[in-house]
Structure 1
Amino acid sequence: MRQILLPTLTMLLLAGTALAGQAPGPASAPDVPVSAKDRFYTSDQFSNTISVIDPAANTLLGVIKLGDPTPMNLSPLYKGQLLVHGMGFSPDHKTLLAVSIGSNAVSFIDTATNTVRHTSYVGRSPHEAFFTPDGKEVWVSVRGENYLAVLDAGTGKEIRRIEVPNGPGMTIFSPDGQYGYVCSSFSPETVVIDTKTHAIVGRVKQESPFCPDIAATPDGEQVWFTLKDVGRTQVFEAKPPFKALKTIETGPITNHVNIVRTKAGQFAYVTIGGLNLVKVFRTDDFSQIATIPTGALPHGLWPSGDGSRVYVGLENADKAAVIDTATNTVVAEVPIGQGPQGVAYVPNTVPEGDGRQNLQPLGASGKTSALTLSGTDGKPATQITLFDQGVLQTLQAAVTGLPAKMPFVLALSDDPKGAGMIEPLAAFMTNPAGAAIVNAIGPIRQVTRTDAGTGRRYLVVAAGKPGELGGVVQVQTKD
């Protein structure tokens, strides 16, 4: 009787459980409905914080402070983290990883207490890190060099290095744990690594050298990766021979991709920073089914444990946008820290209590100003955010609408049409899509606002290089 009842009970339980599975887990994993035990995290590059959101209430609970804003982080005696950027989490959801590019660090954060348990220091400019599906190792993409740093998940110590093409951007694993897929930010090649032997067993040609993000589908059939410089997204088979399947023209500053499974099917959500959109594609026929306006410069995104929502970090808005996947519309916005980059939605991270231990208020990290530059046709082309760092602001411009692979200068002019004296702030080269992300720092808000008096300056983009400037091609049109 017992041998009959147990299989029957198991079948009944499975029949009542939706098996959709969310990245990076397998499709066989049960759905985890959104609850107050879940957390959505963003890594905030300019405030050097981790924002912690309760997705049941869509409320910011506070931030985990990993470092200080500029200029306090410029001291040679500075001990905090700098340019908090990438994210990952353990299979048991007890550990969050935060990668800091400027301080070459991987912070292991206890999700129950919001405290840093351990910090590992790796090679130059790491970008992303993720746990292997068995939870035993952490693979860190050391983008400033040509290898993955493999850390022991328990001790955080580096136990080996895996040589890969120069500039590894991100690693994600197949749901069964057999393969690690590593795209590159400096070399036009993605490699596939056997997780047991740590040997490269496959290579996929990237149509450009700059891939910032990669995702594997929960059904174990496909891998999607983005190409930020050319505005495309590529798809290849997740199993040998790792055949290329599709290249999709997605748009300027194509940032991150993630996978959602619902009763309606399996979908890829892609953030298009230069268009302030998320685009949604089916994974069976690659057709686009939705375009979702989000706000300024969408970057990282991650689905909830049941696929009912997708949370998106808005890099130039200091907000998280919440997308209802049934309607593919933004249903909420949550204020967060400055310049969110990587994100992670982690179900069931708070076993008991309210999960607010050791969190700090957002404070000055929530202060930003927005500006717009328009081209000679009068149409808005470049969005600029000034992140308040006290007296100074960190400027980030999402530049679009320019000729490809040409030199330009972001500058200040004493004339609203850019006809007067021009003071260069930052030189840059546009990518093949005619776009660029440009950074500068200074008391920019004070000199560009309307009450600056006779000393007011206007942000412009001019052709050429500092000392060899050509004509002004974009001018400030919105305070």
Structure 2
Amino acid sequence: MKTRILAGLLASSILAGIAPALAGQAPFAASSPNIPVSSRDRVYAAEQFSNTVSVTDPATNTLLGVIRLGDPQPGNFSPLYRGQVLVHGMGFSPDKTTIAVVSIGSNSVTFIDTATNTVKHTTYIGRSPHEAFYTQDGKEVWVTVRGEDYISVIDTATYEEKTRIKVPNGPGMQIFSPDGKYGYICSSFVPETVVVDVASHQIVGHVKQESPFCPNIAATPDGQQVWFTLKDIGKTQVFNALPPFDLIRTIDTGPITNHVNFAANANGTFAYITIGGLNQVKVYRTDTFEQVATIPVDKLPHGIWPSGDGTRIYVGQENADRLAAIDTLTNKVVAQVPIGQAAQAVNYVPNAVPEGDGLANLQPLGLAGQTLHLALTPVAGKSEAMPTSVSLFDQGLLQVLQASVTGLGPKKPYLLALSNSPEGKGEIEPISAFMTNPAGSAIVNATGPIRQIVRSDAKAERRYLVILEGTAAQRGAVVQKQVLN
């Protein structure tokens, strides 16, 4: 009787669309137990312009505060500055007690206690590290040193670099097989992913990338597949997680394809991929590779991570300063949480705070919550292309400008500039020259008192953002102009 009742309840819950997740979640094995969402869990986002790590309670989808690892510009330009710069990558220990946060500009990995939000240690390594993650036994942290050609292997007992693993130039990210046997390392500078035997630190496999720029890689919980993204050409590739590590599928995902991760629920296991140029998360089955959903999100989605039970997946929206919570059964955004500036990596850590309220040493957002958002559209009228999003991240008197440029010609030079005319027909002052990628997109950065200019109440002083074809020496036509509010 109990068996029939249980089966009936399960069937009813599936029909009602509230079926429980049935498999372990990434980065753990499918055989691992699911951990229901609770206020003991934490969602962390690494934010590169406020130099903060935001801390969110997923049970209520509220920001609890930020861990401040550094100062905004121009304070962090000082030769005596000791904080972190460009907080970017992140991974967490298998026992869920520590997050390792990578800061690109200060060449560091900061180890933070999840229960108390305190820095336990900071390790300084090679040029421009990008991502860090723990081996499955928790004894090592592997850090991709993207500005060089190796993995820095840090001993978690001493926080010291114990060895280096030579890999192709510009390693982008590494992740491990759920059984802990293999490390998979893609490259951001050359078109090659390598597979490393964790025990021996020796390369045992090679996978050809369709392009040189891979920022992110993830392994399915069943240990069968590895997915990696190619940001420059808007594709995602899938290869066999086991020897001979052969390529299985290449998927056209869209401009500024950022991160990929997985969620398993009663309907199967699904890959969720953030597409910055389209402001979407695309969802694919891992068994048939069929795209089953397109989820609209806010500007420039980047990092992504599942909850401990696979019922939700969290997305950092880089140009929106918000964290989106997505229900994986309905594939709809169910919450938006304000966080710090320019979210990069996102980690969901189940049971990060086993006791207490976990609020110690957290600070309010403050200046990190102040950002102005603009948009640029084609000058030739309406277009089906997504508009270019521009965010001005407040640093005090200055702002860091970041434009997620889309809808331009592939592999061509352009200028982001200021004009004294809304149509870009007047005087032009270049801000930043850039080259689009093969998908006709680019991420463009600049620093200055730009908000004061583009929002000036004085008509004679106001300027307007535009994008022109060509270079500073040989300017072409205006192709995108600022949307006026």
Residue 191 (structure 1) aligned to one of 184, 191, 194: 194
Q: Which of 129, 134, 149 is the equivalent residue of 1:131? A: 134
Q: Secondary structure of 2:457's match?
A: helix
1:330 is matched with 333
Q: Does 1:266 align with 2:269?
A: yes
Matching residue of 2:71: 68
Letter in 2 for 1:237: N
Match of 1:321, SS state, is strand
Letter in 2 for 1:277: Q
Change (3 A) 1:246 1:109: same
User: Does the alignment pair 1:390 with 2:396?
Assistant: yes
Amino acid of the residue matched to residue 154 of structure 2?
L
Q: Which residue of 2 aligns with 1:243?
A: 246
Q: 1:409, 1:465 within 8 Å by CA — same for their partners in 2?
A: yes
Q: Does 1:216 align with 2:222?
A: no
Which residue is equivalent to 1:425?
431
What is the SS of the residue equivalent to 1:454? coil
Residue of 448, 453, 465 corresponding to 2:454:
448
- Per the TM alignment, residue 18 of structure 1 is displaced from its structure 2 partner at its CA by 6.3
Distance 2:324 2:387 in 1: 22
- 1:16-73 Cα offsets, whole Å, 9 max, x none, are x965111110000010000000000000100000000000010000000000011111
Q: Compared with structure 1, are the counterparts of its residues 394 and 452 closer, same or farther at alpha carbon in structure 2 (3 Å cutoff)? A: farther
Secondary structure in 2 matching 1:73: helix
Aligned mates of 1:447, 1:18 — CA distance in 2: 51
Distance (whole Å) between structure 2 residues aligned to residue 131 and residue 260 of structure 1:
20
Which residue matches 1:294?
Answer: 297
Alignment partners' CA distance in 1, 2:299 and 2:456: 22
User: Does the residue aligned with 1:275 lie in a helix, a strand or coil?
Assistant: coil
Q: Find the partner of 2:358 among 322, 334, 355.
A: 355
User: For the structure 1 residues 254 and 174, does the alpha-carbon distance in structure 2 shift closer, same or farther, using more than 3 Å as the test?
Assistant: same
Q: Kindly report which structure 2 residues correspond to 1:48-447, keeping only aligned pairs within 5 A, or say none.
A: 48-378=51-381, 379=383, 381-447=387-453
* 1:297 and 1:314 in contact (8 A); partners too: yes
Asked whether the 8 Å contact 2:22–2:264 carries over to 1, the reply is no
Q: What's the CA shift for 1:375?
A: 1.1
Query: Which runs of no fewer than 5 residues in structure 1 stay unpaired?
Result: 1-16
> Residues of 1 paired with 2:309 and 2:398: CA distance?
42
2:34 matched residue in structure 1 = 31
CA contact under 8 A between 2:226 and 2:240: conserved in structure 1? Answer: yes
1:460 corresponds to: 466
Find the residue that maps to 1:191 and give its secondary structure: strand
Task: Determine the C-alpha separation between the residues in 2 that align with 1:471 and 1:376.
Answer: 10
Q: 2:368 is paired with a residue of what secondary structure?
A: helix
**Alpha-carbon distance in structure 1 between the residues aligned to 2:366 and 2:304:** 24
Amino acid at match of 1:230: I
Q: How many residues align?
A: 463
Cα displacement (A) at 1:154: 1.4
Do 2:50 and 2:340's aligned partners in 1 also have CA atoms closer than 8 Å? yes
Deviations 1:337-375 (A, max 9, x none): 000000100000101111000000001110111111111
Indicate conservation of the 8 Å contact 1:39/1:52, yes or no: yes
Cα displacement (A) at 1:439? 0.3
Q: Could you tell me how far apart the structure 2 residues matched to 1:52 and 1:210 are?
A: 30
Where 2:119 maps in the other structure, the secondary structure is strand
Read off the aligned partner of 1:42 and give its amino acid letter.
Answer: A
Counterpart residue type for residue 287 of structure 1: E
4+ runs deviating over 6 angstroms: none
The answer on whether the counterparts of 1:174 and 1:216 sit within 8 Å (CA) in structure 2 is yes
RMSD, aligned CA: 1.0
In structure 2, stretches of 5+ residues that fail to align are: 1-19
Three-state SS of the structure 2 residue aligned to 1:365 is helix
Q: Please tell me the residue identity of whatever aligns with 1:469.
A: R
Shift of 1:449: 1.4
CA deviation string 1:281-318 (max 9, x = no partner): 00001000000001100000000000000010000000
- In 2, the alpha carbon distance for the partners of 1:383 and 1:372 equals 5
Q: State the identity %.
A: 67
- Partner Cα separation in structure 1 for residue 403 and residue 54 of structure 2: 22
Q: CA deviation at 1:450?
A: 5.6
Look up the SS of the partner of 2:355 in the other structure.
coil
Distance 1:182 1:275 in 2: 27
Partner residue of 1:4? none
| Counterpart residue type for residue 163 of structure 1 | K
Is the CA contact (8 Å cut-off) linking 1:19 and 1:28 kept in structure 2? no
The 3-state SS of whatever aligns with 1:455 is: coil
Distance in 2 (CA, whole Å) between partners of 1:182 and 1:144 is 14
Structure 1 counterpart SS, 2:54: strand
Contact 2:390–2:403 (CA<8 Å) still a contact in 1? yes
User: 2:44 matched to which residue of 1?
Assistant: 41
TM-score, normalising length: structure 2: 0.94
Matched-pair contact (CA < 8 Å) for 2:27–2:221: yes
Cα distance, 1:408 vs. partner? Answer: 0.7
Alpha-carbon distance, 1:377 to partner: 2.8
- Retained in 2: the 8 A contact 1:19–1:29? no
Shift of residue 453, structure 1, vs aligned partner: 2.2
